[in-house]
Structure 1
Amino acid sequence: MFGSFVGAFKPSLVAFGGRAWRIPWRMSKTRKANVRKRLREVDSVIDTLMASGVQCKQLDLIKDMPRESEMLPRDKYTTFSRTAKNHRKSVHKVPHFTKRPIPRTTPKSF
């Protein structure tokens, strides 16, 4: 019944290519600006928490992390990946990268 692939079920190059082929190989200026904006917003939330006097273990760990202005572009726009060449992968290649925290440092073993 569906073996003939007619009408709405007809395959096309886009259907075979999948979503991975539509991700650009380089981040655009807009995406980079949005990444910087998200990092600055996180910095402002951390500053607000520290000013309020809240004490917790995670906040003490975050204090040692670099701020957005102190980060290298390599750390802003790429993330650690075991499988990628040179163990770095562009942030926009990570699924749901706008909703996941961007690690601000590379693991110490690499």
Structure 2
Amino acid sequence: MEKRMWIRRILGILLIVGGFLFGASRGPAGVCPGDRIFSALGLPVWSQGTTGTHYPGLAGLAATMAGIAVVNTTLGEKARIRVWTIVVVILVLDMVRAVLG
């Protein structure tokens, strides 16, 4: 049983890291790996040309949230509170970073 928990935790962490790497913009150009993958597959990156909803960002966010949910199911109550506190702090810091440029 303990081995299954570790496998689920590792899967969850991989989803979190993969989702972040897939949808997070890097560098001055603001391009993320998801942009390149969507373009290579012939899928639109943005809902309105170069603005609107950023589809790779949403896909990355969905993968990250799925990873958090998987990890969350393997933890006790105190650990869950810590995980969600960390998630909220990271989201707030990211929003502040986005606003301040």
- Structure with larger Rg: 1
Same fold (TM over 0.5): no
TM-score, normalising length from structure 1? Answer: 0.31
Q: Quick check: which one's helix share is greater?
A: 2
TM-score, normalising length from structure 2? Answer: 0.33
Query: Greater RCO between the two (CA within 8 Å, min separation 6)?
Result: 2
